[in-house]
Amino acid sequence: MKLLLIEDEQSFAGILLRRLTHHGYECEHAETVDKGLVLAKQSLPSHLILDLKVGTQSGLSILPKLRELLPDARIILLTGYASIATAVEAIKAGADDYLSKPVDSKTLLAMLAGDNATEAASDTNIMSPARLEWEHIQQVLKANKGNISATARQLGMHRRTLQRKLVKKPRID
Which domains does the chain show, CATH number per domain? 2-124 (3.40.50.2300), 129-167 (1.10.10.60)
Whether the pLDDT of residue 70 is over 80: the answer is: yes
pTM of the model: 0.67
Select from 123, 120, 131, 77 the least CA-distant residue to 100: 77
Whether the pLDDT of residue 69 is over 80: the answer is: yes
SS3 23: coil
Peptide bond preceding 45 in cis form (omega within 30 of 0): no
Exposed, middle or buried: residue 31 (CB in 10 Å: 0-12, 13-18, 19+)? middle
